[in-house]
């Protein structure tokens, strides 16, 4: 029986678009991630202390995607709980969008979850974020529920999605 790779190794084995690299983020990179948060999620960006707690919390993996100048242009993270992972965030700066980096980050988290032996992945997305929802559907996620009026500025539902990891 083949041995599963370590979750972090599995994540880093994900193919990355040419000119970009993928790596595990460290607590030292929290300010770079916070800058991406402010650009991508200006209405509800996570604070530096929130990101520090996420980066150092148990059962979490945070990945960054970097351009040719080693500048972080996107990041994503997930938390494992029992037999599932929850994708906590995926964000790519505007100038790096449309290059498959959000897909790369999401696939890397799913690979890490699979290597950790989890069976399901969950995430939530603003109902108006059709680009992200479309990406998630293309990766096998399906809507399973909604959190009414979860997001603010503007107020809208969170669409809860799930994907079985085969």
Residues marked active site are found at 124, 136
CA torsion 137-104-116-89 (nearest 10°) is -70
Report the alpha-carbon distance of residue 121 to residue 133 in Å, rounded.
14
What residues contact residue 42 under an 8 Å CB cut-off, 6+ apart?
Answer: none
Report the alpha-carbon distance of residue 38 to residue 43 in Å, rounded.
8
Whether the bond between 154 and the residue before it is cis, its omega within 30 degrees of 0, is yes
Report the alpha-carbon distance of residue 11 to residue 115 in Å, rounded.
9
């Amino acid at each position: 029986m083949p041995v599963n790779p370590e979750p972090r190794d599995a994540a880093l084995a994900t193919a990355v678009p040419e000119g970009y690299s993928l790596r595990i983020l460290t607590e030292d990179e929290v300010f770079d991630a916070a800058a991406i948060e402010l650009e991508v999620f200006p209405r509800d960006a996570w604070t530096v202390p929130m990101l520090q707690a996420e980066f150092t919390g148990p059962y979490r993996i945070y990945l960054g995607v970097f351009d040719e100048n080693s500048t972080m242009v996107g990041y994503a993270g997930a938390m494992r709980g029992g037999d599932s992972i929850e994708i906590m965030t995926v964000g790519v700066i505007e100038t790096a969008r449309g290059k498959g980096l959000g897909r790369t980050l999401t696939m890397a988290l799913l690979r890490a979850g699979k290597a950790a032996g989890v069976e399901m992945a969950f995430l939530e997305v603003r109902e108006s974020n059709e680009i992200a929802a479309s990406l998630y559907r293309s990766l096998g996620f399906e809507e399973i529920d909604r959190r009414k009026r979860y997001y603010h500025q503007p107020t809208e539902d969170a669409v809860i999605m799930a994907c079985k990891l085969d």
